[in-house]
Structure 1
Amino acid sequence: MGEDMRVRTTLVGATALLLTAALAAPAVAATGTHPHGGHAGTRKAVEAAVAAGVPGVTATAKDAHGTWSTTAGVGDLRTGEPRSTADRYRVGSITKSFVATVLLQLEAEGRLSLDDTVDRWLPGVVRGHGHDGRRITVRQLLNHTSGIYNYTADKDFDRIYSSRDGFHRHRYDTLTPRRLVEIAMTHKPDFTPGESWNYSNTNYVVAGMVIEKVTGRTYAAEITRRIIAPLHLKATSLPGTKITVPQPSSRAYSKFSGPKGPTDDVTTFNPSLAASAGEMISNSADLDRFYSALLGGKLLPAHQLKEMKTTVRTTISPRVRYGLGLMDTRLGCGVHVWGHGGGIFGSTSEADVTADGRHALAVNFNGDWTGDTAAAVEGEFC
Structure 2
Amino acid sequence: MNPLAELEFRIGQILDEYQTPGAVIGVLHRGEVTELAYGVQDITTGEPVTSGMVFQCGSLTKSWTALAFLQLVDEGRAALDEPVQSYLPHFQVADPAVSAQVTPRQLLNHTSGIEESYGDPGEDDDVYGRMVAAIVDAPQVSPLGSVHGYSAALGYAILARIMEVIDGKPWHRIMTDRIFTPMGATSTHAWREEVEPARAARGHLIRSLDEGPIPTPVDDLPRAFGAGGGVTSTVRNVLALAHVYLHAGLAPNGQRIVSATAIREMMTSRVPIPDPYTLGREWALGLVVDNWHGHDVYGHDGSTIGQNARMRILPDDDLALVLLSNGDSREGRHREIFDLIFTRLGTATIPPLPVPDPAPTLDPARYIGVYERPGTRFEVTSEHGHLQLHLDVDPMQAAIMCTPDRITHDLLPIDDTHFLLPPNTPLEDMQTAAIFGFHDGRAQYIHTNARLHPRES
Distance 1:90 1:135, change over 3 A: same
Q: What's 1:237 paired with?
A: 189
Distance 1:357 1:260, change over 3 A: same
The match for 1:61 among 27, 38, 52 is: 27
Q: What's 2:158 paired with?
A: 206
Query: What's the % identity of the aligned pairs?
Result: 24
Provide the rounded CA distance (Å) in 2 between the counterparts of 1:224 and 1:357.
30
Instruction: Give per-residue Cα distances to partners, 1:216-254, cap 9 Å, x unaligned.
Output: 2222222222221121112101116x2865432322123
Provide the rounded CA distance (Å) in 2 between the counterparts of 1:46 and 1:188.
47
Instruction: Give per-residue Cα distances to partners, 1:147-186, cap 9 Å, x unaligned.
Output: 12235xx9x88xxxxxxxxxxxxxx966922444566655
Q: What's 1:165 paired with?
A: none
Provide the rounded CA distance (Å) in 2 between the counterparts of 1:82 and 1:327.
32
Paired residues for 1:1-382 under 5 Å: 33-34=2-3, 40=7, 44-45=10-11, 47-64=13-30, 66-128=32-94, 132-150=98-116, 176-181=127-132, 187-200=138-151, 201-239=153-191, 242=193, 246-255=197-206, 263-266=214-217, 268-269=219-220, 271-297=222-248, 298=250, 299-310=257-268, 311-317=270-276, 319-331=280-292, 333-355=293-315, 358-370=318-330, 372-381=333-342, 382=349
How far off is 1:82 after superposition?
2.5
Distance 1:129 1:194, change over 3 A: closer
Distance 1:283 1:185, change over 3 A: farther
The alignment of Structure 1 onto Structure 2 pairs a total of residues equal to 329
Provide the rounded CA distance (Å) in 2 between the counterparts of 1:349 and 1:377.
13
How far off is 1:269 after superposition?
3.5
Tell me how large the CA RMSD over aligned residues is: 3.1
User: Is the Cα contact below 8 Å between 1:122 and 1:210 reproduced in 2?
Assistant: yes
User: Is the Cα contact below 8 Å between 1:212 and 1:218 reproduced in 2?
Assistant: yes
User: Is the Cα contact below 8 Å between 1:90 and 1:282 reproduced in 2?
Assistant: yes
How far off is 1:51 after superposition?
0.9
Distance 1:294 1:369, change over 3 A: closer
Distance 1:356 1:236, change over 3 A: farther
How far off is 1:205 after superposition?
0.7
How far off is 1:358 after superposition?
3.0
Q: TM-score, normalised by structure 1?
A: 0.76
Stretches of structure 2 lacking an aligned partner (at least 5 in a row): 251-256, 343-348, 350-457
Instruction: Give per-residue Cα distances to partners, 1:310-351, cap 9 Å, x unaligned.
Output: 2111134154311100111223x5433222111112211011
Higher relative contact order (CA 8 A, sep 6+): 1
The 3-state SS of whatever aligns with 1:190 is coil
Provide the rounded CA distance (Å) in 1 between the counterparts of 2:168 and 2:267.
28
Deviates more, 1:286-295 or 1:174-183: 174-183
The 3-state SS of whatever aligns with 1:330 is strand
How far off is 1:95 after superposition?
1.3
Provide the rounded CA distance (Å) in 1 between the counterparts of 2:336 and 2:96.
41
User: Is the Cα contact below 8 Å between 1:50 and 1:72 reproduced in 2?
Assistant: no
Q: What's 1:4 paired with?
A: none
Q: Whose radius of gyration is greater, 1 or 2?
A: 2
Instruction: Give per-residue Cα distances to partners, 1:168-220, cap 9 Å, x unaligned.
Output: xxxx9669224445666554211111111101021101111111112222222
Stretches of structure 1 lacking an aligned partner (at least 5 in a row): 1-31, 158-171
Instruction: Give per-residue Cα distances to partners, 1:84-118, cap 9 Å, x unaligned.
Output: 22110111111111211122111121112111111
The residue type paired with residue 113 of structure 1 is A
Provide the rounded CA distance (Å) in 2 between the counterparts of 1:46 and 1:273.
35
